[in-house]
Amino acid sequence: MTIQELKDKLSADYPNLKESMHSVLLTINREYAFDEAIVPQNAEIGMFPPVSGG
């Protein structure tokens, strides 16, 4: 499964997250991952919503 496929699955399983999936950052084993990255078996996935600060 790729990161994009994971985002699609989460959007389908949890419709309230669909809009957030466009701007969320994901990590695989604590390293940022792009949509085409393959998620290895037993990987740790992190999800970070967009934030703003001042």
Each residue of 4-54: pLDDT tens digit?
A: 999 999 999 999 999 989 999 999 999 999 999 999 999 999 999 887 776
Is residue 53 one of the residues assigned to a domain? no
Which pair of tokens denotes residue 23? 């701007």
Helix spans in 1-54 (H)? 3-13
Is residue 30 one of the residues assigned to a domain? yes
Q: Which domain holds residue 8?
A: 3-48
The candidate with the shortest Cα–Cα distance to 11, out of 1, 22, 2, is: 22
Q: What is the pLDDT of residue 54?
A: 64
Tell me how far apart the alpha carbons of residues 54 and 19 are, in angstroms, rounded to a whole number: 24
Is residue 34 one of the residues assigned to a domain? yes
Is residue 20 one of the residues assigned to a domain? yes
Contact status, residue 23 vs residue 50, Cβ threshold 8 Å: yes
Q: How much is the pTM?
A: 0.85
Q: What is the pLDDT of residue 50?
A: 80
Total count of domains within the chain: 1
Is residue 37 one of the residues assigned to a domain? yes
Is residue 54 one of the residues assigned to a domain? no
